[in-house]
Amino acid sequence: AQSVTQPDIHITVSEGASLELRCNYSYGATPYLFWYVQSPGQGLQLLLKYFSGDTLVQGIKGFEAEFKRSQSSFNLRKPSVHWSDAAEYFCAVGAGANNLFFGTGTRLTVIP
């Protein structure tokens, strides 16, 4: 069965520090992979996506993610976090964007 695990419910980092949010998945084949961000009271915004090709994907707002097939992971990274990055982050996997399974999210707090 398909599943997505985001093992960290809540992460706190200092502004300027690096960030890595973890995402592991279980899927029958190589899925499409997505990271979304949700600010309080808002809908979800796509940060980046992986369909095929280069396993290091660049997204908006300085985020990147690396697909590691051997580890069934798609971790999100940012070298230097800004206070405006505080939000909830969701990893999603699926056979296509019409068949997505979302993780339970990781809430990011940024301290000055």
Give, as ranges, the residues between 59 and 88 that touch another protein (CB under 8 A): none
| Euclidean distance between CA atoms 72 and 68, whole angstroms | 6
Tell the smallest beta-carbon distance from residue 89 to another protein (Å).
11
From residue 55, alpha-carbon distances to 20, 21, 74, 103, 106 in Å are 16, 16, 9, 20, 22
Give, as ranges, the residues between 14 and 53 that touch another protein (CB under 8 A): 32, 36, 41-46, 49, 51
Tell the smallest beta-carbon distance from residue 100 to another protein (Å).
7
Binding residue count for another protein, defined by CB under 8 A: 22
Q: Which residues contact another protein (rule: CB under 8 A)? A: 4, 32, 36, 41-46, 49, 51, 90, 92, 96-98, 100-105
